Chain A
Amino acid sequence: MSFVEYGDTIKDGDTAIVFLGHESMFPVKVQHGTVTQTKYGVIRHSTDLIGKKYGSKVTCSKGGWVFILHPTPELWTMNLPHRTQILYSTDISIITMMLELKPGSIVCESGTGSGSLSHALIRTVAPTGHLYTVEFHQQRAEKAQEEFREHGVEHLVTVTNQDVCKNGFGVSNVADAVFLDIPSPWEAIGHAKSALKAEGGRICSFSPCIEQVQRTCLAMEEYGFTEINTLEILLRVYNVRTISLQIPDLGKAAEDNSSTGFDSSNPSHQGSPCANLQQGTVQFKSGVPLREVVGHTGYLTFATKS
C-alpha cells in the first residue's frame, strides 16, 4: 500500500483505516504482534489484518465487526492527528483543480501544518512531480516528515523548516503552483513569485479573514499577478431519511366520504408520497440537511503569474 498507489492486501507496516460504522473510523499502523482495541473487541494484526484483502470485514474478539480500508488522502484528512487546524477535502478539491495540478507538477506549500493538504498534493503530482513544503515550527516539520516516510511518499516531498516569509521555499523558477496558508501571506508573495516558473504558474492563498485577503490581493497585483480571483466553497451534506408526515384531520364533508384527496388506489412508487390513510400519514424520502453545518473555512484567492 501507499498513499499514491493502491495495493490489494494488507501488509506489515501499512497504515490502514479501521471503519467501525457511520462516520466512525481511525487509522492504525499495521504491525506483526500488535493488537488494536476497538469497542467491538480486539483486532490482532498478525491474524486479522496481515494478508487480508483491503475492504474485508474483520470480526473482533467481542463479536462485532469492522471494515479495513485502504488509506487515501481523503480518509487521512478525516482521521489524522491534528497539530493545527486543517484543510478539508472540499477546499482541497477546488484548490487542486484551480491550481491545475496533475502528475508531474511541482508544487510549493506553506505551512505544512498537520499535512492534510500535503498528502492530497503528493497524491496528485505522483509519480513524477514533487512537493516542496515549508513549515516554520520545528516539531510539526519533523512530524510531517515522519508521516510522509511511514506512508511511503517521502521520495515525492521535501520538508523544509524555515520561515517562508523570510527565506522562501528553497527553490527558484520551477514551481507550477504555490499554495499559502499562513497568517501573513502578503509577505510571501514575492517569494512565491520567484519560486514559480517563468510564465503561467498558479498561486493560491487561503485566509480566514477578509482583511488578510485584501492585503494579499494588493500584493499580488503589485507583483504583477493576473487573473486574481477570490472565492469560497462550502459543503452541504444531506442525510437520506424516510419521513412520515401526519395528515391533519379536517373533518368530513357532509355526505362525501372522500378524504384527503390522495388516491389510495394509486400504487405507491419510489419518490411519490405514499398515503397510509388508516394511520393518516404520508411517507416520502428526503435529503435532510444537517442541523449544524460548516459556515466558513476561509477565502481562497487564485492568480496567475504572467
Chain B
Amino acid sequence: AMEGGPGARIREGDCAVLKRDEVFKAVSVLRRRKIIFEKQWFYLDNAIGHTYGTTFEVTSGGNLQPKQEVEETTTETKEAGTDNRNIVDDGKSQKLTHDDIKALKDKGIKGQEIVQQLIENSTTFRDKTEFAQDKYIKKKKKKYEAVITIVKPSTRILSTMYYAREPGKINHLRYDTLAQMLTLGNIHAGNKMIVLETCAGLVLGAVMERMGGYGSIIQMYPGGGPVRAATSCFGFPKPFFDNLHEFPLSKVHSLLSGTFTTETLPADPEDNALLEEESNGLSEEKQTSLQETEEESVPEAVMEINQTEEQETMDINAEDVEFKETKEKENKENVREKQIKQWERRKKLIEAAALLREKNADGLIVASKFHPTPLLLSLLEFVAPSRPFVVYCQYKEPLLECYTKLRERGGVINLKLSETWLRNYQVLPDRSHPKLTMSGGGGYLLSGITVVLDKGRSDPSNSEALKVEEPSSKRCKLQDLHC
C-alpha cells in the first residue's frame, strides 16, 4: 500500500507546500507561526487535520478557511464587443479608486464580490470581446480571490518549486531534466545507488522517492557534510534513512588506492580494536579528520570549563560540594557523549567505505557544480558493469570533455549527450497556443552504460593499456569488512 494513502492529512511538523496558481512555497506546518505567501499573512493552524489538496481562503484574521465550492455565476448572454478598435486604454476606465477597493477589503467583502464590483464599475468591460472579458475576470480573480492550496511534497512539486524560486541552489537543473535522470538511471526499488549532488538535497530526495525505502544509497559529498535541506521537505518516513549512507569525496582517492583509514584521533580502547580491523596496513593517512577539529578540542575545552567551574564553586561554601560533583559528572557525560557520537560517525564511515569497496553499485547519479570529468572517472570505479550512469551539468562544454575522457578510459558504452526542450501550452476553445518557451536553460545530461573494463581494447583511439578490473561478484554483508 502506498505510504501516505488516499487523503493524507496535514499534520503538525509536516513539510507542506503552499500553492497559488503556478507559485509554490515550502513551509513547516507549525502552530502560531506566521506565514507570508503571495502578499498574504496567515497562520496554518486551521489547516491541520485537513487533507492535502484542500484549497483555503485567507480570512481577515489571518486564518485559513476551506474554500466553499461556489456556483460559477452562469453568465447569461453577456454583452460583448467584437474587437478592440475603439477601446482606448487611458487608465480611467475603472471607476473604483484604490481607496474604494481598500475600503471593500477592510469591510471584509469577499474577493468574488470585489471582482463583481470591478466589472460593474468598468466602463469598457462590455465593449471587450468575450475572450478579453474572460481574461479580465481571470486576472482580477487571481488578484483578489486569493486561494491557497496546500499540497503534499513530491519530486514533481519540489523540483518545480526549486527551479522557479531558487534555481541557483540546484545548478539550474530544470524539472524535466531531473525526470530524465531518474528514468535514464533506472532508479528503482532495490538498487544500490551512488549519488553525488550539490542541489540542496533535491536530487537525493528524488532518488529516494523512486527507491521507496528499498535498497541503499551512498551519498558522496564535498566538504564537511552532505546538504539535505530539500530532502527533509519530502517527508519520508524514518526507515527510508536507514540505508542512506554518506561518504566524503575527499577520501575517494585514498579508498581507490587502498590507503583509506579512519584513524585520526587519540584512541579509545574500543577504537584501537576497530583500527586494527579495518586499516589496510599500507600507509597511514595524515591527520585529516572529516569533521572539523572541534571534536578533537572538546576534551580540552571541557577541561577548561571544569577548571573554571571548579574555581567558581570553590568560592561558594561547602554546601555546594554536591552541586560541584554533579557538574563534574555532567561534564564527563558530555565528553562521553561526544566520544560515542564520534565513534558512531566513524563506524558509519567504515560501513560506507565497505559498501563502496564492493564496486558493485547499480548506478551513479551526478548533479553538481563541480567539473564532471574527475568525478566520473573516479566514481565509476564503484559501479558494477552493465549499469547506467547519468551526469548533469549546467553547461555543455564540460560534458564534451567528460565524453572524450570516458571514451579514452573505456568501459562505457552508449554514451549520449542530450538536453530536453520543454514547452507549456494554453488550451482553451479557440485559444490554444504554446505558453512560455523554456527551451535552453534546463541543463545537459551525459548518460551511458558501464561494461567490463577490458585491457587492450580493439578501439584504435585507445592507446593506453587499461587494467583489468574484476568487480566482486558477491554483495558482501556489512559486517564483513574485507570484501
Decide if B7 touches A287 in the complex (CB within 8 Å).
Answer: no
Docked complex Cα distance between A218 and B452 (Å) = 53
Closest to A286 in B: B400
A105 within 8 A of B: yes
Interface residues of B in 205-240 (CB under 8 A from A): 209-214
Partner of B188, one of A90, A123, A285: A123
Decide if A93 touches B452 in the complex (CB within 8 Å).
Answer: no
In the bound complex, residues from chain B placing their C-beta under 8 Å from that of A19 are: 413-414, 451
Partner of B427, one of A55, A56, A214: A214
Tell me the minimal C-beta distance from B402 to chain A in angstroms.
Answer: 9
Known: A93-B180, A120-B183. A233 touches B421 (CB 8 A): yes
Decide if B416 touches A237 in the complex (CB within 8 Å).
Answer: yes
Tell me the minimal C-beta distance from B71 to chain A in angstroms.
Answer: 14
- Looking at B41-49, B81-89, B133-141, B148-156, the stretch in contact with chain A turns out to be B148-156
B417 within 8 A of A: yes
Q: What 1/0 mask marks residues of chain B from 419 to 458 whose CB sits below 8 Å from any chain A CB?
A: 1111111110100100000000000000001111010001
Q: How many residues of B contact A (CB 8 A)?
A: 71
Known: A5-B190, A127-B189, A231-B424. A96 touches B183 (CB 8 A): yes
Tell me the minimal C-beta distance from B234 to chain A in angstroms.
Answer: 11
A145 within 8 A of B: no
Partner of B189, one of A67, A74, A106, A126: A126
A92 within 8 A of B: yes
In the bound complex, residues from chain A placing their C-beta under 8 Å from that of B452 are: 53, 55-57
B362 within 8 A of A: yes
Classify chain A: how many residues form its interface, as a range.
35 or more
Interface residues of A in 178-233 (CB under 8 A from B): 197-200, 210, 213-214, 217-218, 228-233
Decide if B418 touches A237 in the complex (CB within 8 Å).
Answer: yes
Decide if B473 touches A53 in the complex (CB within 8 Å).
Answer: yes
Decide if A103 touches B419 in the complex (CB within 8 Å).
Answer: no
Residue of A176, A234, A287 with highest tally of chain B CB at under 10 A: A287
Partner of A96, one of B179, B211, B384: B179
B387 within 8 A of A: yes
A118 within 8 A of B: no
Docked complex Cα distance between A267 and B432 (Å) = 55
Partner of B183, one of A74, A98, A105: A74
Decide if A128 touches B1 in the complex (CB within 8 Å).
Answer: yes
B382 within 8 A of A: no
Decide if B209 touches A197 in the complex (CB within 8 Å).
Answer: no
In the bound complex, residues from chain A placing their C-beta under 8 Å from that of B400 are: 240, 271, 285-287
Interface residues of B in 299-332 (CB under 8 A from A): none
A26 within 8 A of B: no
Docked complex Cα distance between A213 and B432 (Å) = 10
Decide if A238 touches B396 in the complex (CB within 8 Å).
Answer: yes
Tell me the minimal C-beta distance from A261 to chain B in angstroms.
Answer: 22
Decide if B154 touches A100 in the complex (CB within 8 Å).
Answer: yes
Decide if B432 touches A210 in the complex (CB within 8 Å).
Answer: yes
Tell me the minimal C-beta distance from A287 to chain B in angstroms.
Answer: 5
Decide if A72 touches B186 in the complex (CB within 8 Å).
Answer: yes
Tell me the minimal C-beta distance from B348 to chain A in angstroms.
Answer: 25
B196 within 8 A of A: no
Decide if B188 touches A4 in the complex (CB within 8 Å).
Answer: yes
In the bound complex, residues from chain B placing their C-beta under 8 Å from that of A213 are: 425, 427, 432
Tell me the minimal C-beta distance from A15 to chain B in angstroms.
Answer: 13
Decide if B183 touches A232 in the complex (CB within 8 Å).
Answer: no
Docked complex Cα distance between A104 and B211 (Å) = 10
A235 within 8 A of B: yes
Docked complex Cα distance between A170 and B142 (Å) = 40
Contacts from B to A (Cβ < 8 Å): 1-3, 6-8, 51-53, 152, 154-156, 159, 175-176, 178-180, 182-184, 186, 188-191, 209-214, 360, 362, 384-388, 396-397, 399-401, 403-404, 413-427, 429, 432, 449-452, 454, 458, 473
Closest 6 CB pairs of A and B: A55-B385, A103-B212, A55-B386, A93-B183, A54-B386, A97-B179
Q: List 8 A-B contacts (CB under 8 A).
A: A6-B191, A8-B384, A19-B413, A53-B473, A102-B210, A106-B2, A197-B7, A231-B425
Contacts from A to B (Cβ < 8 Å): 4-6, 8-9, 19, 53-57, 65, 67-70, 72-74, 89-90, 92-94, 96-98, 100, 102-106, 120, 123-124, 126-129, 173, 176, 197-200, 210, 213-214, 217-218, 228-240, 270-271, 285-287, 299, 301, 304, 306
